[in-house]
Amino acid sequence: MSSNSPNYHAYLLRLWREHANAPWRVSLQSAETRERQYFANLADLVAHLETQTGQSWTGEFISDGGNPYSSATEDLIDSA
């Protein structure tokens, strides 16, 4: 799939916090351009992703759209 497609976005996501009680900080780096964006909290990240995809997140999981790896991932999560 073309990286210029509006239907495909690839990112490197980094999460960290300064100490156990601090809020999570986020950076999102484009795999294509290497541009990095920073977010002060998870809500700002979700808002950005909603803008990128044109889809609102309702707090529920979005269908995997037939992803052949989804059941394997679910099995890994369930066994953890």
Residue 35's domain comprises 1-59
Res. 1: pLDDT tops 80: no
pLDDT on residue 73: 47
Residue 70 lies in a domain: no
> Could you tell me how far CA 11 lies from the centroid of its own chain?
7
Residue 52 lies in a domain: yes
* Over residues 13-35, mean pLDDT: 93
Residue 26 lies in a domain: yes
Pick the more confident residue, 57 or 42: 42
How large is the C-alpha radius of gyration of the chain? Answer: 15
Residues 6+ apart with CB under 8 A from 40: 23, 25
Average pLDDT, the chain: 79
> pLDDT exceeding 90 applies to what percent of the chain?
42
In Å, what is the CA distance from 20 to each residue of 4, 16, 42? 39, 10, 16
Residue 24 lies in a domain: yes
In Å, what is the CA distance from 24 to each residue of 7, 34, 39, 50, 57? 28, 22, 9, 19, 19
**Whole-model pTM?**
0.61
Residue 1 lies in a domain: yes
Overall domain count for the chain: 1
